[in-house]
Amino acid sequence: MARLPPLLDRTPVLATLLILPAAVLVGGLLAFPLTLGVLLGFKDATIGEPGSFIGLDNYRYLITDPVLRITALNTALYTLVTLVFKLALGLALALVLNQRFTGYRFWRSVLLLPYVVPTVLSAFAWWWIFDPQFSFISWALVKLGLLDHNLDFLGNPWLARGSLMVANIWRGIPFFTVGYLAGLQAIPNELHEAARIDGARDWQIFWQITWVLLLPLTTILTIFSAIFTFTDFQLVWTITRGGPANATHLFVTLAYQRAIAGGAMGEGAAIAGFTLPFLAVLAWAALDALRRQP
């Protein structure tokens, strides 16, 4: 390659050039519509009517809306509970797959499958698995004599929440596993060996070396997964549509139901607006973590 003019070696110029493509894409197709969306939250717009500004009226109503309260609780629970499981199980699976054994390549790619199948379709599968009449889980439990009736996975509010979480965990484990596998490969073996020579036990090695070294990675994976989970839509919309009686709505499904299905665009945008502060905190935390990375 020929020597490039020194202009390109000036940091501000080069940085601008390198960042420009990403900034154009994200700015034009995301930030701009996002601004439009946020503004919408302060209007009484409906489908087909641009509406006028009504200040905080949408928000003021929403904080008194019992459905929104359930939704907030659901979203928080859904995010927290599934995150804990996804992280723990994803790491465990990565530890298992990080070993050398016959067929490890096969298992590594096959166990990523839940992440590969389009969510709409895997949601169909889970929907059937949790069917009140056709669930094979119920079928097996009844056949084994552990139950005398089918479980009402999606009809009972708490069971329905749990069932959706299981489906989400199922789908989300591979995300953590992939990340952790990369992280584990990056830890030099010598560290473990040195520790072992010093007489450390396996769990000590794990907690004091592996876990500590993986911490920055954990932060990033957690934050991103939290964002995906917090704004999840497809699973819930396919399996329960927020039912029974609004017991399983998340912010996004509720916003979609009211804005798109119900036509109350302003209110829907305001519901989405409720997620912004939370997500902003996450993003800030992520940035902070990133900055502190070695």
Q: Which amino acid is at 166?
A: V
Pick between residue 116 and residue 208 the one whose CB is nearest to another protein: 116
CA distance 202 to 194: 12
Instruction: Residue count of the chain, please give it.
Output: 294
Pick between residue 67 and residue 80 the one whose CB is nearest to another protein: 67
Pick between residue 77 and residue 227 the one whose CB is nearest to another protein: 227
- Nearest approach in angstroms of CB 143 to another protein is 9
Pick between residue 72 and residue 269 the one whose CB is nearest to another protein: 269
- Nearest approach in angstroms of CB 198 to another protein is 20
Pick between residue 59 and residue 216 the one whose CB is nearest to another protein: 216
Pick between residue 105 and residue 197 the one whose CB is nearest to another protein: 105
- Nearest approach in angstroms of CB 186 to another protein is 7
CA distance 45 to 264: 7
- Nearest approach in angstroms of CB 277 to another protein is 10
Core vs surface per residue 122-131: b (16+ CB within 10 A) or e: bbeebbebbe
- Nearest approach in angstroms of CB 197 to another protein is 19
- Nearest approach in angstroms of CB 58 to another protein is 10
Give the closest residue to 228 by CA, choosing from 6, 61, 78, 103.
78
Q: How far is residue 263 from each of residues 41, 131, 251, 274, measured CA to CA in Å?
A: 13, 30, 16, 19
